[in-house]
């Protein structure tokens, strides 16, 4: 223990000297004074750790000295030396804050014990001071660390490329970063701690996020989903979003939404599809040349037969030649149509129409060729399909391509014993959709062919096909947000099922339904 400096104050000089000698021999440093005034002066100049003072002294007595010392430093340990019958003074000394009492005559052991006690107190106080200081330092450090982390998180949220919007348990917006401000077009100052979920999101979006509280019990389960976000100023932004439900000990604390703006990605995706398509068209020009050459040969052959017919005045020859020319003109028309459809980006043009009537039109176009090749066309249109908002051109072109393929499959089938048949069906599909089915019992496909069906310019028909038919059909159906299913078995036949969603007349906000 470090407290080592002791001030001894007594008017009896001999006692002071004896005590001083004894304490010095115990290793203490002592300062002596022979009255209260001298004691006070020594206290001020020497700053001892412990004071041992007699009570009764002429002039400033021990009590007065005690009081003055405590005024200067309340923590100084003052041991009072009392005589018999000093009860009153002892009580006053206690009130003034004396640490201990020893009786006169002062015995060395009693003084040693009192000093040990005083030193122990000083030591405890020093340790306490140290702990307090440490604690203060630790609190300072912890506060600084928390501040640093909080700043870091704030910076992270602020500089995030994702729009971050967080709501508290009452659905008030408590986090709203600059990217969110850009996306929603509302200033942070007007939103944070002011708006609620209903003020920022459309009622439909707000409902979805509120429902997520029930759907997402596990906070780590954060699937990214896509939606068309509608802002209050009427903009539609394609976004990818995720929600985290915040809970503390099972209690709902709020939610955080993260949004990623997909506008640019969608634009690039579109551009990519477009350029891939153009590249595919470019690539296949050489393939097409072969096909066009076949058409030209057909045309030349046709015109030769017409020439002969004219020369010989043979109407039969004229008829045959003219049919060949017409067939080849139709091939050129089809090719041009397919190329145009495939190379251009096109939005479906929805109009109220009857898919069953379109089936009739397609059958009208192909029935002669089918009959000429002994292929039976079986129509199974469901009246429940009625009139729906679809793009009639998509249906017409797709059906025509599928039926043409079906006829080719029948004509190419090596099994001539078959009674070839093509079924064309319509029906209502799930939700707001219709299904068109084209089924043939022709040659069917092997797995290798099935895999490549929708590849650009894939054809097994050598000069007789361009390989554009299904490519165009696939593109049209995709633009219509529909799908195509293929079921095929080699030697048995093929079924194509096209599912097309239709629009509900007068419905607004259809895009947000895709949430």
**Chain contacts with ligand ATP (rule: CB under 6 A):** 401, 405-406, 408-409, 440, 442-445, 449, 453, 458-461, 465-471, 494
Residue 316 CB, nearest approach to Mg ion (Å): 32
Cβ closest to Mg ion, residue 232 vs residue 464: 464
Contact partner, 61, from ligand ATP, Mg ion, none, Cβ < 5-8 Å per class: none
Cβ closest to ligand ATP, residue 354 vs residue 441: 441
Contact partner, 437, from ligand ATP, Mg ion, none, Cβ < 5-8 Å per class: none
Tokens (6 digits) for 21: 């000698």
**Quick check: 501 binds Mg ion (CB under 5 A)?**
no
**Quick check: 392 binds Mg ion (CB under 5 A)?**
no
Residue 511 CB, nearest approach to ligand ATP (Å): 31
The alpha carbon of 325 is separated from its chain's Cα centroid by a whole number of angstroms, namely 61
Q: Which stretch binds Mg ion (CB under 5 A): 138-146, 326-334, 467-475, 497-505?
A: 467-475
Cβ closest to ligand ATP, residue 270 vs residue 451: 451
Tokens (6 digits) for 71: 């005024």
Q: Which stretch binds Mg ion (CB under 5 A): 157-165, 170-178, 261-269, 405-413?
A: 405-413
Distance (Å, rounded) from C-alpha 272 to C-alpha 266? 10
Cα-based angle 438, 439, 443 (whole degrees, multiple of 5): 125
Size of the site for Mg ion (CB under 5 A): 2
- CB-closest chain residue to ligand ATP: 469
Residue 335 CB, nearest approach to ligand ATP (Å): 7
Contact residue for Mg ion among 392, 456, 469, 474 (CB under 5 A): 469
**Quick check: 405 binds Mg ion (CB under 5 A)?**
yes
Output the DSSP codes for 366-417: HHHHHHHTT-EEEEEE-GGG-SEEE-HHHHHHHHHHHHHHHHHHHHH-S-TT
Instruction: Name the CA dihedral angle for 329, 332, 333, 339, rounded to a multiple of 10 degrees.
Output: 180
Contact partner, 298, from ligand ATP, Mg ion, none, Cβ < 5-8 Å per class: none
Contact partner, 474, from Mg ion, ligand ATP, none, Cβ < 5-8 Å per class: none
Distance (Å, rounded) from C-alpha 215 to C-alpha 208? 10
Residue 304 CB, nearest approach to ligand ATP (Å): 25
Instruction: Name the CA dihedral angle for 324, 464, 488, 440, rounded to a multiple of 10 degrees.
Output: 0
Cβ closest to ligand ATP, residue 356 vs residue 460: 460
Cβ closest to Mg ion, residue 30 vs residue 405: 405
Residue 404 CB, nearest approach to Mg ion (Å): 5
Residue 340 CB, nearest approach to Mg ion (Å): 16
Residue 400 CB, nearest approach to Mg ion (Å): 9
Contact partner, 243, from Mg ion, ligand ATP, none, Cβ < 5-8 Å per class: none
- Is-contact 79 55, C-beta < 8 A? no
Cβ closest to ligand ATP, residue 142 vs residue 330: 330
Cβ closest to ligand ATP, residue 280 vs residue 308: 280
Tokens (6 digits) for 12: 């009896």
Contact partner, 205, from Mg ion, ligand ATP, none, Cβ < 5-8 Å per class: none
HEC readout, 41-71: HHHHHHCCCEEEEECCCCCCCHHHHHHHHHH
β-bridge mates for residue 411, sequence order: none
Q: Which stretch binds Mg ion (CB under 5 A): 94-102, 120-128, 151-159, 399-407?
A: 399-407
What is the β-pairing status of strands 163-168 and 173-176?
antiparallel
Cβ closest to ligand ATP, residue 246 vs residue 288: 288
Q: What is the sign, positive or negative, of the torsion defined by CA atoms of 502, 505, 510, 514?
A: negative
Residue 449 CB, nearest approach to ligand ATP (Å): 5
Residues sharing a CB contact under 8 Å with residue 138, sequence separation 6 or more, in sequence order: none
Q: What is the sign, positive or negative, of the torsion defined by CA atoms of 279, 282, 286, 290?
A: positive
368: how many CB neighbours lie within 10 A of its CB? Answer: 9
- Is-contact 92 64, C-beta < 8 A? no
What is the β-pairing status of strands 225-230 and 251-261?
unpaired
Q: Which stretch binds Mg ion (CB under 5 A): 54-62, 276-284, 313-321, 461-469?
A: 461-469
Residue 210 CB, nearest approach to ligand ATP (Å): 48
Residue 355 CB, nearest approach to Mg ion (Å): 21
Q: Which stretch binds Mg ion (CB under 5 A): 235-243, 301-309, 351-359, 466-474?
A: 466-474
Cβ closest to Mg ion, residue 243 vs residue 404: 404
Distance (Å, rounded) from C-alpha 230 to C-alpha 243? 17
Residue 501 CB, nearest approach to ligand ATP (Å): 23
Residue 500 CB, nearest approach to Mg ion (Å): 19
- Is-contact 29 6, C-beta < 8 A? yes
- Is-contact 65 34, C-beta < 8 A? no
Q: Where is 500: in which H helix or E strand?
A: strand 493-501
Q: Which stretch binds Mg ion (CB under 5 A): 294-302, 401-409, 421-429, 482-490?
A: 401-409
Q: Which stretch binds Mg ion (CB under 5 A): 67-75, 325-333, 413-421, 462-470?
A: 462-470
HEC readout, 335-367: HHHHHHHHHCCCCCCCEEECHHHHHHHHHHHHH
Q: For residue 55, report the phi and psi dihedrals to the nearest 5 degrees.
A: -85, -50
Map residue 488 onto helix, strand or coil: strand
Cβ closest to ligand ATP, residue 90 vs residue 460: 460
Binding positions for Mg ion, rule: CB under 5 A:
405, 469
């Amino acid at each position: 223990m470090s407290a080592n400096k002791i001030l001894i104050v007594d008017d009896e000089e001999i006692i002071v000297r004896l005590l001083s000698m004894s304490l010095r021999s115990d290793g203490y440093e002592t300062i002596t004074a022979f009255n209260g005034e001298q004691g006070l002066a020594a206290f001020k100049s020497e700053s001892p750790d412990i004071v041992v003072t007699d009570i009764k002294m002429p002039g400033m007595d021990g009590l007065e000295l005690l009081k003055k010392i405590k005024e200067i430093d309340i923590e100084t340990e003052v041991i009072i030396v009392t005589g018999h019958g000093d009860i009153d003074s002892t009580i006053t000394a206690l009130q003034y804050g004396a640490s201990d009492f020893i009786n006169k005559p002062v015995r060395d052991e009693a003084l040693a014990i009192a000093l040990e006690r005083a030193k122990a107190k000083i030591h405890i106080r020093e340790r306490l001071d140290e702990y307090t200081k440490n604690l203060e330092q630790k609190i300072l450090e912890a506060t600084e660390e928390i501040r640093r982390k909080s700043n870091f998180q704030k910076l992270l949220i602020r500089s995030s490329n994702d729009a971050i919007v967080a709501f508290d348990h009452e659905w008030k917006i408590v986090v709203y970063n600059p990217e969110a401000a850009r996306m929603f077009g509302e200033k942070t100052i007007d939103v944070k701690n002011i708006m609620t979920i209903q003020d920022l999101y459309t009622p439909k979006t707000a409902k979805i996020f509120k429902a997520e509280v029930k759907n997402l019990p596990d906070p780590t389960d954060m699937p990214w989903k896509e939606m068309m976000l509608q802002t209050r100023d009427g903009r539609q932004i394609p976004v990818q979003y995720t929600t985290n439900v915040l809970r503390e000990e099972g209690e709902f604390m709020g939610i955080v939404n993260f949004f990623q703006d997909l506008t640019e990605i969608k634009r690039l995706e579109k551009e990519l599809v477009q350029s891939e398509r153009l590249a595919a068209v470019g690539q296949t020009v050489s393939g097409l040349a072969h096909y066009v050459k076949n058409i030209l040969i057909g045309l030349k052959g046709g015109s030769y037969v017409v020439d002969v017919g004219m020369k010989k005045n043979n109407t039969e020859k004229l008829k045959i030649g003219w049919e060949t020319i017409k067939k080849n003109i139709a091939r050129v028309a089809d090719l041009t149509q397919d190329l145009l459809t495939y190379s251009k980006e096109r939005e479906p043009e929805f109009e109220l129409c009857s898919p069953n009537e379109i089936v009739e039109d397609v059958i009208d176009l192909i029935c002669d060729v089918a009959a000429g090749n002994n292929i039976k066309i079986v129509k199974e249109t469901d009246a429940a399909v009625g009139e729906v908002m679809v793009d009639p051109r998509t249906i017409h072109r797709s059906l025509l391509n599928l039926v043409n393929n079906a006829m080719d499959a029948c004509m190419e089938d090596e099994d001539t014993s078959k009674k070839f048949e093509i079924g064309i069906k319509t029906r209502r599909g799930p939700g707001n959709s219709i299904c068109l089915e084209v089924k043939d019992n022709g040659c069917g496909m092997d797995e290798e062919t099935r895999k490549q069906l929708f590849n650009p310019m894939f054809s097994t028909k050598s000069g007789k096909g361009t390989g554009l038919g299904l490519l165009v059909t696939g593109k049209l159906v995709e633009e219509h947000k529909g799908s195509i299913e293929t079921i095929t078995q080699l030697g048995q036949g093929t079924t194509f099922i096209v599912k097309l969603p239709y629009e509900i007349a007068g419905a607004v906000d259809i895009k947000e339904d895709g949430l």
